[in-house]
A = this chain, B = another copy of it.
Amino acid sequence: MEIRRQDIHSSDVPVVCKACEARHGGVCAALSPDQLLELSKHSTRQRLEAGTEVIGQGETVTNYSNIIRGVVKLTKVMADGRQQIVGLQFAPDFIGRPFLTESAIAAEAATDSEICNFSRGVLDRLVKNAPELEHKLHRQALKELDEARDWMLTLGRKSAQEKVASFLYLIATHIDPESVDTSSFDLPLSRADIADFLGLTIETVSRQFTKLRKENVIHIENNRHVTIPDMDRLMRYAGND
């Protein structure tokens, strides 16, 4: 009896998915074993070096993806080259824009990453027969919408100092959701990326980092590793009271 119950959860689950770190967190969690099998037949794992493009702005969407490991940035560029990061995705987030054939944004690995690609057609077909799957995608879309609107406040109304502090707080709370100690981490973005995320220049970002360091709000090692001695203090610097 005990054994049988366990069977229900793990038997028939495709081998590739069984070992998948995102199996229980991403959209796959909404699928039954046979739906998962169907999807896994048309999916491939892929390692991405930092800087690799997943999809380009204006390109036709042929694949959706799940992030298994790493951080992916979503960007928009203007004709003259000005760039804005409009979202950061962490494992086990879903990447893709259902119901549209052309991508309005580019997606690029910010760190070395691993993703699971599956063809658009197969997922679109599964969505029709699995309301729970659409529900999951709907929730993810709403989560991203909340985050986007939070960031609009940051972009439109905060000072450079508050922007940088807000960024650090965002990373601290998202980089490793499992970890108890969120006060020490590696930044997934270069100074140039951070500038594109905050609507600032590299120089301004750098100056605010040194300012925060001198005021002991953060400690920095090797330009990338950050430690936050007092998270509440950082939050106050971010203007989140």
A interface residues, tally (CB under 8 Å): 42
> Would you call A156 and B153 a contact (CB within 8 A)?
no
Contact bitstring A193-235, B, C-beta under 8 A = 1, else 0: 0001011000000000000000000000000000000000000
Nearest B-chain residue to A82, judged by Cβ? B157
Question: Is A155 an interface residue when CB atoms closer than 8 A count as contact?
Answer: yes
**How many copies of the chain does the oligomer comprise?**
2
Question: Is A47 an interface residue when CB atoms closer than 8 A count as contact?
Answer: no
Closest CB pairs A-B (n = 7)? A156-B199, A148-B148, A155-B155, A86-B149, A138-B138, A84-B153, A131-B131
Which residues of A does B touch, CB under 8 Å?
A: 74, 76, 78-80, 82-84, 86-87, 97-100, 104-105, 131, 134-135, 137-139, 141-142, 144-146, 148-153, 155-158, 196, 198-199, 239, 241
Q: List 11 A-B contacts (CB under 8 A).
A: A76-B150, A76-B153, A87-B149, A97-B146, A104-B150, A105-B149, A131-B134, A145-B148, A148-B149, A152-B152, A155-B199
